[in-house]
Amino acid sequence: MKYTPLSKDFYTENRKAFMKKMNKNSVAVFNSNDIYPISADSTFPFEQHRDIFYLSGIDQEETILLLYPDSKDINFREIIFIRETNPKIQIWEGPKFSKKETVKLSGIKSVHWIENFDKIFSIICSKIDNIYWNKNEHYRANSPTQTREDRFIAKYQSMYPSIKARRSNPILQELRSVKSDEEINQIQNACNITEKGFRRILKFLKPNVWEYEIEAEFIHEFIKNKSKGFAYSPIIASGKNSNILHYNENNAKCHKDDLILIDVGAEYGNYSSDMTRTLPISGRFNKRQKAVYESVLNIKKIATKLLKPGITFDEFHLQVGETVTKELIKLNLLSLKDVKNQSKDNPLYKKFFMHGVSHHLGLDTHDYGLIENPLKANMVVTVEPGIYIPNENFGVRLEDVVLIQEKSEPLNLMNSIPIEVDEIENIMNS
């Protein structure tokens, strides 16, 4: 693996925390992701299911984790099933985890080949009252494709219909949303790699380069620094494209006097970063661009200070919306009269800022976290206000990754990435 893995103690503690929340006499099962086909013999690069990774650290296909904390047999309390390798697999695909390596990385002492799963699972299912199935219940989930986990659940629920079904996801939503020190360090590594890519871009950007050339500069720097690449599909949006929230064509030429909105983040060890900056392609903002940019930056600074334990996302978005409205009035995009008469259910600022201000970040870019619950210390979230003005052919968004702290101000994990107008212009013109 490229990255430095977290300690086996981290994964051991995660399993303990999960098992502590399970009902008595229950088992929980977690699967790795599929390797998805493209066509012919081509496949997408493998990406491990974040839940089994969080609980075991095993970053390999065809893996199953089984947790049975009330087993009288100590060897059945934690079991991990891995793919058995052979000389042919080693020649064509390279080495796979051995049993010894799996124990060392995960802290799980009972390691079996995947071929033995049915036999062992059948023995366990004769003794238990509940099975925790691991379905994707993220509030943004949209999964038209049946996953390995989906197929697994359908198969084994039909085989053991009398065993009561329980849900793993609510437990994982709670556990994964609060980050350990090791996880925060891994996210910081991803942020630091993102910074290296961004500083490279500040020296590279100029009129007539193409958006995809900027994307290429980022991926060069990311892979060079032991990242697999982008944590999500990069947005490199110049000119009018900056008003398209999820633009990822990245195939336009960058024109003089336009702005370019860059929303990218490196991954490191399966942990995400998420940064947005908006830059002047010619190296300097014009008066109007600077005014809008400074408004968005001011919104971001005020919003960041609000991120303290106890606040809910609804409260946070409501307060940030008030700040956005004030800035839009300053920019003559809204009038005070119109604002006084606006609908509370559909505030006018949403015409120019139509997305959320924040989301959880971690193993997923839009990470686990029950959004109706108050925020807690050691949650990692983004702050990403924007103002989009299609009539003026540009939009501005700024985004950083922030750690919520118990007694201190929120800690910006991207604090060293240039964002102030003077700093950006000075670097671009040096």
Over residues 258-309, the pLDDT tens digits come to 999 999 999 999 999 999 999 999 999 999 999 999 999 999 999 999 999 9
Cβ distance 16 to 56 under 8 Å?
A: no
- CATH 3.90.230.10 in the chain: give the residue spans: 181-428
All residues at 6 or more sequence positions from 111 whose CB lies less than 8 Å from its CB, including other chains = 79, 80, 81, 82, 99, 102, 103
293-328 as b/e, with b when 16 or more CB fall inside 10 Å?
bbbbbebbebbbebbbeeeebeebeeebbebbbbbb
Query: Of 247, 249, 251, 252, nearest to 263 (Cα)?
Result: 247
- Res 343: pLDDT: 84
Cα 207 from Cα 283, distance rounded (Å): 9
Please give the structure tokens belonging to residue 420: 């102030």
Cα 79 from Cα 84, distance rounded (Å): 15
CATH architecture of 181-428: Alpha-Beta Complex (3.90)
Cβ distance 205 to 284 under 8 Å?
A: no
CATH of region 8-176: 3.40.350.10
Enumerate residue ranges in the chain where pLDDT < 50.
none
Which tens digit of pLDDT belongs to each residue from 326-378? 999 999 999 999 999 898 888 999 999 999 999 999 999 999 999 999 999 99
Give the Å distances, CA to CA, from 159 to 121, 147, 156, 380, 386.
11, 19, 5, 40, 51
- Res 142: pLDDT: 84
> Quick check: helix, strand or coil at residue 191?
helix
Tokens 């946070």 belong to residue: 316
> Quick check: helix, strand or coil at residue 400?
strand
